[in-house]
């Protein structure tokens, strides 16, 4: 089941105002560039198994963050989903929900990243 085409269509229609260019569908991922310089790579294996990784810019010192659902942090309130911060800390996911649709999760993250690419965490 490839969820990326449906996510791409949703993002292109619902969030065109945030995009620097049309989203790119790759073999196993969707790449989304935002007007504020953020590049988001979306990987959905299933509706409850995902990796949403982004860089805050194109420079070597740009921060890289990720929200994923690997079951490695069961102590977090949002487990299995969690946020890998730029400083290496792993915290509860402030944006996505495991029971939300892929389109809803990517939409929520795009809106959040357009406002604050670090999601409130320090670089």
- Give the tens place of pLDDT for each residue, 21-62: 999 999 999 999 999 999 999 999 999 999 999 999 989 899
Backbone angles phi, psi at 66, to 5 degrees: -155, 140
Give the number of other CB atoms < 10 A from CB of residue 100: 16
- Give the tens place of pLDDT for each residue, 90-120: 999 999 999 999 999 999 999 999 999 999 8
Average pLDDT over residues 53-79: 95
Model pTM greater than 0.85? Answer: yes
Instruction: List the structure tokens of 27.
Output: 């073999």
Residue closest to 69 by CA, chosen among 86, 93, 104, 89: 93
Instruction: Please state the separation of Cα 93 from the chain's center in Å.
Output: 11
Looking up tokens 């929900």, which residue turns up? Answer: 97
Distances in Å between the alpha carbon of 53 and those of 14, 79, 95? 20, 17, 13
Q: Is 71 exposed, middle or buried (0-12, 13-18, 19+ CB in 10 A)?
A: exposed
pLDDT of residue 1: 62
Give the number of other CB atoms < 10 A from CB of residue 69: 21
pLDDT of residue 81: 96
């Amino acid at each position: 089941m490839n969820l990326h085409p449906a996510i791409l269509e949703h993002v292109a229609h619902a969030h065109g105002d945030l995009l620097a260019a049309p989203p790119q569908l790759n073999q196993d991922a969707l790449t989304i560039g935002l007007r504020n310089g953020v590049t988001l790579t979306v990987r959905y294996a299933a509706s409850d198994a995902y990796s949403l990784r982004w860089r805050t810019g194109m420079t070597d010192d740009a921060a890289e963050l990720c929200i994923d659902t690997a079951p490695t942090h069961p102590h977090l309130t949002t487990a299995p989903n969690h946020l890998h911060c730029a400083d290496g800390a792993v915290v509860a996911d402030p944006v996505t929900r495991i029971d939300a649709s892929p389109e809803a999760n990517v939409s929520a993250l795009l809106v959040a990243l357009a406002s604050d690419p670090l999601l409130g965490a320090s670089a």
